[in-house]
Amino acid sequence: MRRKIQESSKTAAGPSKDRRSSGPGRLLIAVYGVFALSATARAAFQILTKFDEAPLAYSLTAFAAAVYLLATVSLARAGRKWYRVSVAAVSVELMGVLGVGFLGVFDAAAFPNETMWSGFGSGYAYIPLILPLLGLGWLYRNRPGKG
């Protein structure tokens, strides 16, 4: 009887939560949380004080803030649904960093003012470029149904 209770509690809580949000996963969630706060504060300031200077750039920073917030929440949650949301959010982040980074290199006039992802995240020590790579690697290693 005791063994059945232990087994059912493992499946009810889901081992994916323990794997994804423990150990290095906690650090990953914390970094995403810091970036969510940072991007939100930056976007709010830029939009409230100088939105007319570069509306696209500042809107992209607000979008980045939303992506970071979604990634933070979804990485901290258990279950297949949240796993898929995490993969989507982190993938969108990677595409955003690469897209804005390449666009900035080939058409500097496209972003007269910097976004969170300008220069592949150079204003943030390239963490916006490295973070989704680490996140996708972590998610792959801790995917649902894996061993």
Residue 75 has pLDDT above 90, yes or no: yes
Dist. CA 19–CA 15, nearest whole Å: 6
Structure tokens at 17: 């939560």
Model pLDDT, residue 43:
95
From first CA to last CA, the distance across the chain in angstroms is: 25
What lies within 8 Å, CB to CB, of 9 at 6+ separation is none
Q: CA of 4: how far to CAs of 51, 145, 147, in Å?
A: 59, 20, 20
Closest C-alpha among 83, 74, 47, 52 to residue 63 = 47
pLDDT digits (tens, 9 = 90+) for 77-116: 999 999 999 999 999 999 999 999 999 888 877 777 888 8
pLDDT digits (tens, 9 = 90+) for 1-32: 455 444 444 444 444 345 777 788 999 999 99
Model pLDDT, residue 7:
45
Cβ 61 vs Cβ 43: under 8 Å: yes
Structure tokens at 138: 């972590």
Dist. CA 1–CA 5, nearest whole Å: 6
Name the 3-class secondary structure at 58: helix
DSSP letter, residue 85: H
Structure tokens at 47: 């939009």
Model pLDDT, residue 147:
57
